[in-house]
Structure 1
């Protein structure tokens, strides 16, 4: 008798379920039939593969050795069958999306999935807009949602192009609910002169943009570098530091978000794409999906909605129109 993939599946089923009886049920066989087949397999390999105990069946040393080789074979066979079925079904459209961290991303993806149900969509999240732009140019992504810190323009590499989504998005400040400035609807920079400021050292130009603004205001800020968002939220809530945040973000427990007077911190939101990856019509649709997702978030954030209605005339009619 020669072993084949069916026999290997029998061994894995017994090992995974812990008993011949449960494995037989899983495989749709009778227990006597599976027991007979197991004995044949054991005679072929030259020794017992499982010990039979009151609590079930456990692999012997030989069984572990055989299973360690059987599982990769079964996995490769499953991948082969899946790839063959994929090829037999014909080529499927795919869309590789990249994005910086943004609450708009999830809503954008839902809209894309709804509009393009037959398209295989993947998402790559990265804190670095520069890295995402490079991936677009290198044909690793088809489109990417990125932001550009004011005063630090992004260099879009050859092979990629970009379109503006929001010309100027103000960055709000997150601070502890017990902070003296938290009671004000709009925070002055001077209110935060004694605070430590938190930045993500992996985010493009975040630290440089922060120092540029604060130095211009005559501050020499204390800076705390934190990469983990959960830790950052705890530090803000405890009053250890303040941090800039997107105006569409919800406040975390024990924190409040406030606009900064004069909007000294801002970013430009862009949609970058690889022209060879899509038509102008497809890009227009993706841009519209993202814009609508972004507007949905702005509408449920009173402070940011008020800011947009005052400062962004191009979006004003969309922000006040139901169902956009």
Structure 2
């Protein structure tokens, strides 16, 4: 693992909080996720950065060395980013908005659809993408000016991340969808339009990773249905699809998931889980001038994706009052 600026921010946050639990709360992370991230950093740096004790944590000698450098580097990079943003705003004001769109997003068909739509609407534009399972990482890149827009999603009514360092990002809702379930074509529930979550109590599950609260919300929904998932395989989309196709697991997916051979997607009865698609940008970036147009394109992409999913199109016709 290569050390990045965000890792130095994590080390600084832990030192200032004096506790992994308090640092996790401040960073908006689950404490186990922060502990795992710290262990990866310690392996990369060759030793422990903090000593754990009954009253919290304190830096080791190596930790003090890292903190000393971090206290110089983090403010210096923040200052450089702000200067670069000011330079970009002056350049945009003098030359007009450059035809460049740097898009960040979590993996999924909506990002690909947005790239295609922008390439068609702006033939001369440069469109580049950066994908990550971490919405927090994407928000950080947005705050640093390294990407222009982020297309991602959050569970239910959860708030998207701030971007860190006091960055006031703008987030606008694109659409809200129920979470569907992927089933093998031969599954006993595949012929039904809506599947009660309780009827999948004996199944193994598969889902893509993420750093939001979706895993906890899924566990809570299962608990309300009266069971604990036997196993949850967190892996990439292609592997999730394969596990469902071969009957090894059933999968959670966005309602806009495209038709795929060997499996069907179905609504969970009562919509116990919801997914909110959001588009984010930095209000002071040159790209902010095009934000409303990008938002309109993104909403059009979602509408088209919903139309191309037969199961979701049927669900929407029967649940117009809920939309």
The alignment yields a C-alpha RMSD, in angstroms, of 2.4
Which residues in structure 2 correspond to 1:1-324 (within 5 Å)? Answer: 92-150=98-156, 152-157=158-163, 158-166=167-175, 168-202=176-210, 204-278=212-286, 282-311=290-319
Counterpart CA distance in 1 for 2:311 and 2:297 is 23
Pairwise CA distance, 1:120: 2.1
Q: CA deviation at 1:140?
A: 1.2
- With 93-102 and 286-295 compared, the bigger mean Cα shift is at 93-102
Cα contact 2:136–2:211 (8 A) shared by 1: no
Note the C-alpha offset of 1:194. Answer: 0.9
Deviations 1:105-162 (A, max 9, x none): 2221122123333332211112222221111111111111110012643332324111
Change (3 A) 1:232 1:130: same
How far apart, in 2, do the equivalents of 1:280 and 1:252 lie?
A: 36
Q: Give 1:178 deviation, angstroms.
A: 1.6
Unaligned runs of 5+ in 1: 1-89, 316-324
Deviation digits for residues 39-80 of structure 1 (CA, Å, limit 9, x no counterpart):
xxxxxxxxxxxxxxxxxxxxxxxxxxxxxxxxxxxxxxxxxx
Q: Distance in 1 between matches of 2:138 and 2:320?
A: 27
Given that 2:306 and 2:313 are in contact with CA atoms closer than 8 Å, whether structure 1 keeps it comes out as yes
Query: Which region of structure 1 is more displaced relative to structure 2, 272-281 or 210-219?
Result: 272-281
Higher gyration radius (CA): 1
Structure 1 residues 274 and 311, CA gap change in structure 2 (3 angstroms): farther
Name the residue aligned to 2:54.
Answer: none
* TM-score where L is the length of structure 1: 0.63
Which residue of structure 2 lines up, in the alignment, with residue 38 of structure 1?
A: none
Q: Is the 8 A contact 1:200 1:207 kept in 2?
A: no
Q: How far does residue 201 in structure 1 lie from its aligned partner after superposition?
A: 3.7
Tell me: CA distance 1:313–1:105, structure 2 relative to 1, closer, same or farther (3 Å).
farther
Q: Which runs of 5+ in 2 are unaligned?
A: 1-94
Q: Distance in 2 between matches of 1:311 and 1:291?
A: 19
Distance 1:240 1:98 in 2: 32
- TM (norm. structure 2) is 0.63
